[in-house]
Structure 1
Amino acid sequence: MSSGTPIEIKSVTKTYGSHVALENMNLSVKAGEIFGFLGPNGAGKTTAIRILTGFLNPSSGSAYIFGMNCWRQTVCINKRIGFVPDLSSLYDSSTGRELLYYFGSLHGGLDQKNLKTLCDSLKLSNEDLNRKIRQYSHGMKRKLAIIQAMQHQPDLLIMDEPTQGLDPLTQMALFGMLKSFSNDGGTVFFSSHVLSEVENLCERVAIIREGKLIVIEEIKELKSRKRQVAKIKFKSGFPLKFDLKGSTIISNKNNEILLSIDHDINPLIKILSNYEIESLSIEEPSLEDIFLDYYKDSDHESLSI
């Protein structure tokens, strides 16, 4: 096992009585990547994150962060990671500043310059930090949780729904912070219910279903396996002899067709050169399309992620 590997999960199973929360999970996250972890509520995301952060001991198998056992070496691990939980249990009777100082001491010290940079980036003022946390809005608590996770300049960020409660401008600021963190060699592992933000931030994702990992892949590779949709509007009506091998006509109405095609659009462009075209658009598959494909035989009501 490489001591430099940020996350390694080896054959991890977690059971609660007869209920299997995680089944034989194997996962490795590389240094410097922003890795997305996707699945509906109850799929096992939070269980996996709690094992990585030392709050749960797996029933079998092992999880490691930088080569250290997540259950047995939590003190050493905590100095190298930052954790943003889903619903942060923050100390309401403390001020924001007191909480940051407390967690800074647990992580091996406080970097005042970095703390100021983080607070400025997320628009958390000195006045805010001096207020009791009970007076914070949900969004302010989320900002505080992110700052406490990043203030000691960790090597790895583990984030469970990091944008929950944040306004769009703060979300954009956070995305910029995470990209800079990754560019500087840091690693980010996060779950999110907003598939578009995972698509914009991540190169690789894992999709978990009923406690089992069903895919671990680069997003661009997942997209290349899914067919695109071409929207074509002809100037003088749909040509009866129009034919493209491997394509499927989804709809044909008012000189306009929707066509399901393979990833390579060159054969389509070649055929269309023989016709008068008013407009053409190609719709790339989204991460949401891919995610729903993996869950297409599930109860749609359960797909809240």
Structure 2
Amino acid sequence: MVNSISAQKAESRVDINIKESKYALETNKLTKNYGSSRGIIELDLRVDQGEIFGFLGPNGAGKTTTIRLLLNLIYPTTGKASIFGLDCQNDTVEIRKHIGYLPGEFTMYSNLTGAKTLEYFANLRGGVDWKYVQELAQRLDLDMSKKFKQYSRGNKQKVGVIQALMHKPRLLVLDEPTSGLDPLNQQEFYKLIQEAKANGSTIFFSSHIMSEVEKVCDRVAIIREGKLVKIGMISELTDIKSHSLEITFNGQVPLEELSAIPGVSHFEVAPNDHRQTVRCVVRPESLDKILKVVSGYTVVNFVSREPSLEESFLEYYREQK
């Protein structure tokens, strides 16, 4: 194993464009038509340099299609995309020197060890600092001596994360990057991308987990059925958030008071032995009213959870119709 692989330092067109371009990536009416299948429709995105940008949507919304178009893995039907001011179709080779990419499903040669897999990527990139690779493996608790086929799903994902980060790219494009990672490794991953941002990288972060995007992103775009439906700061996500509540009462249940509260939906009551359990979906602004009502009654259990993004989208768009 080579302990240190020196990287080339030649300034490229991307280096020059980085200094001049305001946006790390930009799309203009980007469209991919799959015929009867859903693609993306006239997508307009602008991601500023140095930000962590969340790309949020339910599974099948068009997130991966967008990423594949940006990387020129598939071709648009109409529209354009650029990275650091360079055309994603015409300047692919030059652009990819400065991108770290983690696909939604990361697979590699099954008989290569983790170390050999990462060395392979390092050589493709003309060399990386191998000490940094070892540091990333240590932080993510990855045994690089095992063959890829011996790894669990989570460890395969760690190899994918490391290969995306190891050359300290100008732009990180991450498609569901924490899939398969345990909670401790998720937290370490969040630290790594915050460090990348602090060092000047831009991160384009695709996810279907709202709480994850809230944790790490500066701005977010929401895509649904191939169309961009919302874009803004994380604080502006409040109108699409909701909570699923399950409240068990011992004795009287304030049915009329609860059902009359604005922002409460999917209201139902289920008997539970000598008690009654109320289930409902509640908008964040209505939580305080719910708590004030139930405080005057005997509550024996109160459970709140964040619905899946799919549930939140369905509820949000049902209200918009």
With the shorter chain as reference, the TM-score category is 0.7 to 0.9
Give yes or no for the alignment of 1:13 onto 2:31.
yes
1:148-196 CA deviation, whole Å, 9 max, x = no partner?
A: 0100001111111111121221112111212222233322212223332
Secondary structure of the structure 1 residue equivalent to 2:318? coil
Deviation of residue 15 (structure 1)? 1.6
Q: Which residue of 2 aligns with 1:36?
A: 55
Shift in Å, 1:108 = 3.5
Mean Cα displacement is larger for which, 157-166 or 258-267? 258-267
Match of 2:220 among 189, 195, 205: 205
Offset from partner CA, 1:243-283 (integer Å, 9 cap, x none): xx9898989xx9xx999789599999xxxxxx9xx9xx9x9
Instruction: For residue 141 of structure 2, give the secondary structure of its aligned residue in structure 1.
Output: coil
Counterparts of 1:46-195 in structure 2, within 5 Å, are: 46-128=64-146, 131=147, 133-195=148-210
Q: Aligned partners of 1:290, 1:105: CA distance in 2, in Å? A: 44
Distance 1:261 1:216 in 2: 20
Partners of 1:223 and 1:290 within 8 A in 2: no
Distance 1:19 1:215 in 2: 22
2:27 maps to a residue whose letter is: I
Would you say the 8 A contact 1:20–1:211 is kept in 2? yes
Structure 1 residue 17 displacement after superposition? 4.2
| Paired position in structure 2 for 1:233 | none
Quickly say closer, same or farther: Cα 1:91–1:218, change in 2 above 3 A. Answer: same
Two-structure CA RMSD over aligned residues (Å): 4.0
The answer (yes or no) to whether the contact 1:228–1:261 under 8 Å persists in 2 is yes
Q: For residue 99 of structure 1, report the CA deviation from its aligned partner.
A: 1.9
SS of alignment partner, residue 6 of structure 1: strand
Do the aligned residues in 1 keep the contact of 2:24 with 2:171 (CA within 8 Å)? yes
Superimposed CA distance per residue, residues 80-130 of structure 1 (whole angstroms, 9 cap, x where no aligned partner): 1100011113122322222212212323421122212211111113433xx
CA contact (8 A) 2:56 2:209 kept: no
Cα distance change of structure 1 residues 247 and 113 upon mapping to structure 2, 3 Å threshold: closer
For residues 104 and 156 of structure 1, the distance between their equivalents in structure 2, rounded to whole angstroms, comes to 17
Q: Deviations over 1:192-211 (max 9, x none)?
A: 23332122222322222221
* TM value normalised by structure 1: 0.74
- Checking the alignment, whether the CA contact within 8 Å between 1:33 and 1:203 is kept in structure 2 is yes
Q: Is the 8 A contact 2:54 2:207 kept in 1?
A: no
Alignment partner of 1:220: what SS? helix
Structure 2 counterpart of 1:67, one-letter code? G
CA distance in 2, matches of 1:291, 1:227: 10
Q: 1:223 offset after TM fit, Å? A: 0.9
Instruction: Give the secondary structure class of the aligned counterpart of 2:31.
Output: strand
Give the Cα separation in 2 of the matches to 1:226 and 1:99. 40
| Selected match of 2:235 from 220, 231, 234 | 220
In 2, Cα distance between equivalents of 1:229 and 1:98: 46
Aligned residues of 1:139 and 1:165 also touching (Cα < 8 A): yes
Distance in 1, Cα, partners of 2:210 & 2:91: 33
Give, in whole Å, the separation in 1 of the partners of 2:156 and 2:243: 41
Check conservation: 2:113, 2:145, Cα contact below 8 A.
no
How many pairs does the alignment contain?
290
Q: Which runs of 4+ in 1 moved over 3 A?
A: 17-20, 224-230, 245-251, 257-268, 283-298
Identity percentage of aligned residues: 37
Q: Give the drift of 1:225.
A: 7.9
8 Å CA contact 1:11, 1:62 repeated in 2:
yes
Provide the C-alpha distance between the structure 2 equivalents of 1:265 and 1:89, rounded to a whole number of angstroms.
44
Q: Which residue identity lines up with residue 25 of structure 2 in the other structure? A: I
Aligned to 2:8: none
Going from structure 1 to structure 2, the CA distance change for 1:67 and 1:197 (only over 3 Å counts) comes to same
Change (3 A) 1:10 1:170: same
Distance 2:87 2:119 in 1: 27
Structure 1 residues without counterparts, runs of 5 or longer: 231-236, 269-274, 299-305
